[in-house]
Amino acid sequence: MESCDVSFPRARKRNRARIRGFAALIVLLAAGCGGDPATPAPAAVGQEDLTLLPEATTFGTLADAAKDSGAAATGKVVHPKDDLVVYQSVGGKAVAKLPSTQVGSPTWVPVIAEQGQWAEILLPARPNASAGWVHLDPARVEIAQNDYTVNVDRAAFSLELTRSGERLGKWTIGTGKPEYPTPKGRAFLLASIEETVNEYSPIVLPLSAHSESHETFGGGPGTVGIHTWPNDSYQGQANSDGCIRVPKAALDELVKVPLGAIVNIV
């Protein structure tokens, strides 16, 4: 039986070798990002206050998070070296902490806007389209370029993978049932998990998006993922519990995509 969400407690999580290659592309913030009098410094957050902040993970809910502003993604992705404070706005209220790992994979989140030493990022917690601002302190974050984009068209039952606007592949997919629809909006590739419990897919790629119909599913928080299926009965059909079912050829390409890549679902 399919889970619209990864069996987090039982699945063996893995850090893919490709992440090591991706890490080689990391570009630390240089002196050009050091100091901009036009933007405020972040409010100091003590260790005790940091402990009390909710975690920005697929298991969390961030009531005070900002919403995705809709700004065009910059192609940059951010990795926190340790718990990173997320603010509601530039120089505003601290609303969450972003951990350095997510579901056994290193945390990479997309940057959708920049203002001085600040970056607006998408977050992996509920509600969908949660966003926030982080201060780009080179002692606390790493930055890389990620030019991959995944475009999902629910009506056309298609998934397209591009890099710098160039199509790398397009496949027929399956999506969520009308009562459990795949949520539309902008999300990102959150993690990669080698599945050892369910047999429908060797690898599952959790997204930052969550089902709007399932508060929980299969013991998890209703995280939507991309995975394969034992047969092709899903193709061109809305018959999952919210996940995106893809052919093996698509998954083989998607597992090469660095984490943090934008996933547009329309």
pLDDT at position 25 over 50: no
Spatial CA neighbour of 5 closest among 224, 198, 191, 226:
224
Q: Which of 41-50, 104-113, 135-144, 174-183 has the lowest mean pLDDT?
A: 41-50
Q: pLDDT tens digit string along 85-137? A: 999 999 999 999 999 999 999 999 999 999 999 999 999 999 999 999 999 99
Q: How far apart are CA 42 and CA 181, in angstroms?
A: 39
pLDDT score of 218:
62
Name the segment(s) of the chain with CATH classification 2.40.440.10.
Answer: 147-265
pLDDT score of 4:
56
State percent of the chain over pLDDT 90: 75
pLDDT at position 27 over 60: no
Contacts of 154 (CB under 8 A, 6+ apart): 175, 181, 182, 184, 238, 265, 266
Query: 118 or 24: whose pLDDT is higher?
Result: 118
pLDDT at position 172 over 60: yes
pLDDT at position 9 over 70: no
Q: pLDDT tens digit string along 55-75? A: 999 999 999 999 999 999 999
Per-residue pLDDT band for 160 (boundaries 50, 70, 90) equals very high
Residues recognised as catalytic:
227, 243
Rounded to 5 degrees, what angle do the CA atoms 85, 89, 124 make? 55
Query: 177 or 199: whose pLDDT is higher?
Result: 177
pLDDT at position 29 over 50: no
Phi, psi of 20 (to 5 degrees): -65, -40
Q: How do strand 141-145 and strand 76-80 relate by DSSP bridges?
A: antiparallel
Fold of 147-265: L,D-transpeptidase catalytic domain-like (2.40.440)
Q: How far apart are CA 46 and CA 44, in angstroms?
A: 6
Q: How far apart are CA 164 and CA 104, in angstroms?
A: 28
The answer to pTM > 0.85 is yes
Coil/strand/helix, residue 58: coil
Query: 1 or 183: whose pLDDT is higher?
Result: 183
Specify whether the CB–CB gap between 119 and 113 falls below 8 A.
yes
Average pLDDT over residues 151-164: 98
Q: Which of 105-114, 212-221, 228-237, 257-266 has the lowest mean pLDDT?
A: 212-221
pLDDT score of 7:
52
